A and B are shown apart, each in its own frame.
Chain A
Amino acid sequence: MNMIVCAKQVVDVSEIKIDPNTGKPLLSGVPQKISDIDKNAMEEAIKIKEKHGGKITVLTVGPSDAKERIKELLAMGADEGILISAPENSDYHVISSLLAAAIKKIGEYDLILCGEASIDLFSGQIGPRIAGLLGIPQMTYAQKITVEKNKVVAERNVGDKVVTVESTFPVVITVTKEINEPRLPSLMQILASSNKPIHEWNVESLIDDELNPCVETVDIKGVSMERKNIIYQDDIDDAVKKLVDSLAKEGLLR
């Protein structure tokens, strides 16, 4: 079983500070991490490998420091990593074209695993785009995966229904956060991972034509979330009374 896990380096959204003057988010200097659900994709790949054998390749389009993130996934259990240097201007069209080209270059693949969405932008575009570009089936929002010899069965959470789907290989699967609990690598694994290869590929080695974004972000606006922040700390009875009076005054208790 040849598996490719697509993993993205993202800013830790809980660490984003807001510029008090402009109200815009301050993105530089925010700690980076692997998008949470990609670790679930990684964990699932490891479980499949434990049962059926095979190889796990981590694929990332990102800046050079994303190498550190790939190392974390190698420590978890991936066999090798590929980092594609991110073009200065990119969008989902650009990123997915690079990932699909890299997957073609890898050549042998049965399962391509992605997160249902990345935690910073939460778009869920990359998985379906890769499947479309490669012309293969996709199974999104998988909350359970069962691999058999020549096929894979996924339970998909589509909101109001659970749809069980079967596909042959190759196939793109995007997983939910609920599918598993990603393991924490041991110190031994972390040390051993430094011997695993991380290849760096550039854009030119993957795509001949010019690759231009189809969507451009023209502005990132802040959102004001002005709240009254009236917090009652001391006597509970007193606090409850004051709260109820305030809610009544706001006309919320009718």
Chain B
Amino acid sequence: MVLVYSDNKKLGFELLNKGRELADMLNKTLVSVIIGKDDEKDAEEYIYHGVDKVYIAETEHQEFKVEEYTEILINVIQENNCEVVLIGSNKSGKELAPRLAAKLKTGCITDSTNIYLQGNILFAERVVYSGNAVAVEQFNSKPQIITIPPRVFDPLPADEKRHGDIVKKKFDVKKSSSKILDVQEMRSEGVNVEDAEIIVSCGRGFRKKEDIKLVEELAEVLKGKTVGCSRPIAADLKWLSEDHWIGLSGHKVKPKLYIACGISGQIQHIAGMRDSGTVVAINKDPEALIFKSADYGIVGDLYEVLPKLTNAIKEKMK
């Protein structure tokens, strides 16, 4: 069987698209698990999105606990003899999948962006070396565990006429000895760079926090209104919240237009935006790496260029 799991419903539905395709090709059943609250409505929604059999695994914890969730999944995988396991690659999925793989003594491929069957062999591709290359990988073991990031697949449209089984079960798993003391929502400015069509990004080339209004103004005149940033702006200086952060350890984006202002273009930043449509760079250093990754570049002081560019675009769009 093919199993799909994510603690994020939206991501789960995206994975079901691929899960359905693989299950059909392999002539197998598609299974999914909801861990936590007993919610049949949720389970039905999974069925509408392609699942044949949904487990509702009751636990005492609403909050994700990797040690226990791993044990629950092992139970479901063994009970259903699952040979392919797709897990949503958010942070919880990324720490769950390798623990699961270790316990089952099997392979795991994380953050796969392309999965296909050739004959009966499953291949998964993933970006490596900060985006310099793509590794094509294959399993020698089962189950084959793959994690998939958000927005790689679109969810199948819901079909309310679909039928499936709902299995409610309480798995008797060992309690984790770790304790959750506190959960705090992170400061967020409510931006969603991953879905943005146009992103204007800022880096260390800005001298102070107030100056970020220069990118905000440019973003404002462009449709899309999304501001991104390099790691230091969010992680070290904390001028913007982490939801703006683009790169290897931040968000991966693919807007139609990406404008990098005062960003040097280190490989870890490029890793997050290399799939952008058109890339524009503004940097005062003609040798800056970012120009190698840009379609258009202006060598100049962003404090001079940005206000002029904002005005010129405003004029043009009138």
Contact = CB atoms under 8 A, between A and B. Distances in A.
B256 to A, nearest CB: 6
B178 A227 contact: no
Nearest to A37: B249
A163 B182 contact: yes
Given A165-B180, A247-B278, A225 B293 contact: yes
A235 to B, nearest CB: 9
A166 B178 contact: yes
Contact of A159 (B91, B198, B300): B91
A161 B96 CA distance: 17
A236 B107 contact: no
B17 interface: no
A128 B181 contact: no
Contact of A165 (B70, B179, B295, B317): B179
Interface stretch (B34-42, B52-60, B133-141, B205-213): B133-141
B295 A230 contact: yes
Interface string A166-190: 1110010000111000000000000
A243 B66 CA distance: 50
Given A161-B186, A166-B179, A239-B300, A233 B257 contact: no
A223 B186 contact: no
B178 A139 contact: yes
Interface string B43-85: 0000000000000000000010011001000000000000000
Most buried by B among A119, A123, A241: A123
A129 B134 contact: no
A53 interface: no
A120 B299 CA distance: 31
A215 B249 CA distance: 24
A192 interface: no
Given A123-B110, A128-B66, A239 B298 contact: yes
Given A220-B128, A225-B274, A244 B134 contact: no
A93 B101 contact: yes
A205 interface: no
Given A16-B132, A128-B102, A244 B316 contact: yes
Contacts of A165: 178-181
B257 A247 contact: yes
Contact of A125 (B110, B127, B248, B308): B110
B123 A218 contact: yes
Contacts of B296: 228, 230-232, 243, 246-247
Contacts of A137: 67, 176-178
Given A14-B266, A124-B110, A240-B308, A217 B257 contact: no
A237 B109 CA distance: 49
Contacts of B97: 125, 128
B6 to A, nearest CB: 13
A50 interface: no
B126 to A, nearest CB: 8
Contacts of B305: 236, 239-240
Nearest to B63: A163
A167 B133 contact: no
Interface in A73-100: 91-93, 96
Interface string B99-118: 11111011111110000000
B308 A229 contact: no
A160 B188 contact: yes
A239 B180 CA distance: 55
Closest CB pairs A-B (n = 9) = A214-B107, A132-B102, A214-B141, A215-B107, A129-B102, A125-B98, A132-B99, A164-B182, A228-B295
28 contacts: A96-B102, A120-B130, A122-B128, A127-B95, A128-B96, A137-B176, A140-B66, A161-B185, A168-B177, A177-B249, A214-B101, A214-B107, A215-B109, A215-B137, A215-B138, A216-B139, A217-B135, A217-B137, A220-B128, A223-B127, A225-B293, A228-B296, A231-B296, A233-B286, A239-B305, A243-B296, A244-B313, A253-B313
Given A220-B133, A231-B291, 8 more contacts: A92-B98, A131-B99, A132-B99, A140-B91, A161-B186, A218-B138, A223-B132, A223-B274
Interface of A: 11, 13-14, 16, 18, 24-25, 91-93, 96, 116-117, 119-133, 137-141, 153, 157-168, 171, 176-178, 212-223, 225, 227-233, 236-237, 239-241, 243-244, 246-248, 250, 252-254
